């Protein structure tokens, strides 16, 4: 009898250990419940006041009931007014239980939609490289800044935490939000590097100049840097969805998504909502994914690839991705490499073009980014000529203007 009891304890311990070894996201799912249209009820959502919106407790009760029925636990929730939904995070004891629950919940008439929680990761190793010439210099940045610096354009960076105390970023971040946990914004590597490429202070006598140093940067922590100390970063469907919803309420002009992962239904719906609002969404191409990875492969997203990696989709925009100088957490600077940083450069350039033409639509922006130095028709894939793009939108000379011309002259051709 004692032997049988010991055996049962051993089996239970093994099962518990196996579940503990599974990543938390593998045991979670996202449950969406529909919010009634606002004209049918007096308790409609108010942007920026999500948690106090009346009526949510009734949907929480439904979520708790569904969780209990399927042996799950309700661990978190967030409203998605851009989609007219409330999103709930449910957790199972094992990944298998979570996958079975997704199938069963999908058939429940109370459920608008349900999906597994998915994992995403940032692109680009962020290691120092030895470069003969910084890639940023190829874009004649000082000359471009005579015409535009990103002023009045809001760029949302969905990434890891940003070191807002960095001397080249101090005062450059308009707003920070942490969608990973309840803590303060930590100073993490990848997010700080992306922020530096975008908005590092210009002409301050130190470090670098960002592509769009006067842009209004929203540092939205939707990814986290594992404690093991490397530069890898992880995101989830839920943290990214919360950050996307917030960026929509802030009416950001440009979303920078220097990350990749599997196709995700909830995130795709939020991206579609952003695209309908005219947001320019920039995604980094994953050279290891056949379609470039999500969100770069999502229709309407500007897919930016490393000009050297050979992964040249027909609609890809190619940007320098090697030897890019930028800020790093802890107050220093480094050279970085990867599609993440190519995408950040294009997000900065998009901010310059949006400043020059606030009503510039996605098709016009894509045409400008694919125009070459002599004004030829757009061609893809193509290494972006930043000067040609600015001249195409501004209709004036931007770089290497002929003697006697000024920034107000006609474009060079």
Other CB atoms within 10 Å distance of the CB of residue 140: 16
What is the four-CA torsion angle of 399, 401, 404, 409, rounded to 10 degrees? -80
Say whether 407 sits in a helix, a strand or coil: coil
267 vs 235: CA distance, rounded Å: 12
Torsions phi, psi for 156 (to 5 deg): -100, 125
The angle at the Cα of 125, spanning 120 to 128, to the nearest 5 degrees, equals 160
159 is catalytic: yes
279 vs 361: CA distance, rounded Å: 9
Catalytic pick among 70, 190, 311, 322: 190
408 vs 77: CA distance, rounded Å: 52
Do 235 and 193 contact (CB within 8 A), yes or no? no
Catalytic pick among 26, 77, 159, 168: 159
Torsions phi, psi for 104 (to 5 deg): -70, -45
Q: Which residue has the tokens 């990543």?
A: 23
DSSP code, position 218: E
Do 296 and 286 contact (CB within 8 A), yes or no? yes
115 vs 134: CA distance, rounded Å: 43
Catalytic pick among 258, 340, 347, 392: 340
Torsions phi, psi for 332 (to 5 deg): -105, -175
245 vs 79: CA distance, rounded Å: 8
Residue 302: closest CA among 347, 354, 264: 347
Q: Which residue has the tokens 């049988």?
A: 4
Do 338 and 126 contact (CB within 8 A), yes or no? yes
H helix intervals, 255-382: 265-276, 339-356, 362-369
340 is catalytic: yes
| Catalytic residue ranges | 159, 190, 340
């Amino acid at each position: 009898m004692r032997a049988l009891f010991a055996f049962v304890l051993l089996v239970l311990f093994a099962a518990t250990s196996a579940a503990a070894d599974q990543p938390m996201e593998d045991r979670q799912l996202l449950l969406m419940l529909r919010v009634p249209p606002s004209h049918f009820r007096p308790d409609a959502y108010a942007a920026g006041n999500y948690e106090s919106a009346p009526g949510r407790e009734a949907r929480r009760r439904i979520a708790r009931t569904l969780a209990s029925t399927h042996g799950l636990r309700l661990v978190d929730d967030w409203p998605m007014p851009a989609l007219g939904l409330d999103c709930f995070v449910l957790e199972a004891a094992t990944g298998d239980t979570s996958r079975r629950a997704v199938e069963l919940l999908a058939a429940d008439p109370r459920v608008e939609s349900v999906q597994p929680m998915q994992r995403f990761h940032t692109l680009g190793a962020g290691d120092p490289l030895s470069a003969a010439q910084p890639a940023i210099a190829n874009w004649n940045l000082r000359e471009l800044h005579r015409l535009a610096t990103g002023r009045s354009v809001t760029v949302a960076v969905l990434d890891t935490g940003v070191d807002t105390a960095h001397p080249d970023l101090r005062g450059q971040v308009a707003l920070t939000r942490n969608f990973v946990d309840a803590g303060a914004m930590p100073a993490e590597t990848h997010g700080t590097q992306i922020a530096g490429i975008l908005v590092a202070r210009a002409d301050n006598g130190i470090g670098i100049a960002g592509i769009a140093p006067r842009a209004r940067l929203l540092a939205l922590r939707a990814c986290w840097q594992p404690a093991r100390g490397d530069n890898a970063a992880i995101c989830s469907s839920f943290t990214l969805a919360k950050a996307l919803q917030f960026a929509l309420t802030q009416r950001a002009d440009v979303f920078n998504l220097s990350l990749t992962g599997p196709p995700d239904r909830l995130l795709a719906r939020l991206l579609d909502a952003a695209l309908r609002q005219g947001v320019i969404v920039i995604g980094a191409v994953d050279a290891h994914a056949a379609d470039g990875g999500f969100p770069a492969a999502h229709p309407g997203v500007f897919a930016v690839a490393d000009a050297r990696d050979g992964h040249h989709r027909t609609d890809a925009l190619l940007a320098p991705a090697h030897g890019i100088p930028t800020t790093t957490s802890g107050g220093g600077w480094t050279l970085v490499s990867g599609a993440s940083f190519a995408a950040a450069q294009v997000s900065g350039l998009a901010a310059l073009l949006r400043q020059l033409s606030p009503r510039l639509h996605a098709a016009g922006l894509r045409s400008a980014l694919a125009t070459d130095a002599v004004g030829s028709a757009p061609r893809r894939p193509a290494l972006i000529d930043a000067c040609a793009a600015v001249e195409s939108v501004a209709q004036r000379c931007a770089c290497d203007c002929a003697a006697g011309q000024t920034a107000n002259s006609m474009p060079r051709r």
